[in-house]
Amino acid sequence: MTGTLLNIAAVAAGTALGLLLGNRLPERLRRTVLDGLGLGTVGYAVLSLVDALQGQANVPVKFIVILFSLLIGGLIGEVTDLDGALARAGAWLERRFARNTSAEGAARFIRGFVAASLVFCVGPMTILGSIRDGLFGDYSLLAIKSTLDGFAALAFAASLGLGVGFSILTILLVQGGLTLFAGAAQGALTPPTIAALSATGALMILGIGLTLLEVKPMRLANFLPALVISPLAAALLGRFGVAGF
């Protein structure tokens, strides 16, 4: 859990600095910062997708599994309204801690919480770093991620406000949970299952970048079940002896 605690500290520090700077930046500069984050997020997602599948066998079939997982996961998310649940959690936190009476301020808080939670918690570095921390006690990858997340939190908070800081609750739940799970399920995590999980997370991060750039608003939290379905599908295909799994 050391890596997760480092990550939480970095995001909290970045959010605090971003809040200090945010009030001093005009709206057009905040928009530029957000656009820069969107472009950076898209670039990171593409590199992460390539990295997740690099060296893997039977990549076309793996990619079909990932797309299938996203579709099924999205349907499950729509039926259960995971995106709405995350937004409602953000709204509750806003009422409980921010107490912002304006509708615009509340919407900004929720957007910051949801966007930061997804960016910090579904990427390949989150998945691989948490697994390495849980399996081997090696939190070096999460330490690198913490540095990146700290700067990202600064930029997010400058544009989206206090809601970004409350993403530390999501980091604790998701990243900490992955670390504990990895420690308890050492034999079940194979390179193909990790690759499927990481590539699925990379595609979700691509969606986050497109949403930040206002290219296509998406209910991305509804795709979260895909992060469970893709490694399970990869493991099942491995049991049936499909090449590359």
* pLDDT tens digits for range 196-240: 888 888 888 888 788 878 888 788 888 888 988 998 999 899 888
Distances (CA, A) of 173 to 5, 181, 199: 11, 12, 21
Q: 0.85 cut: is pTM over it?
A: no
Say if residue 45's pLDDT is above 60.
yes
Phi first, then psi, for residue 213 (nearest 5°) are: -80, 0
133-200-195 Cα angle (round to 5): 55
Give dist(CA 106, CA 98) in Å, integer: 8
More confident residue, 44 or 12: 12
| Integer Cα distance of 218 and 201 in angstroms | 15
152 with 119: CB under 8 angstroms? Answer: yes
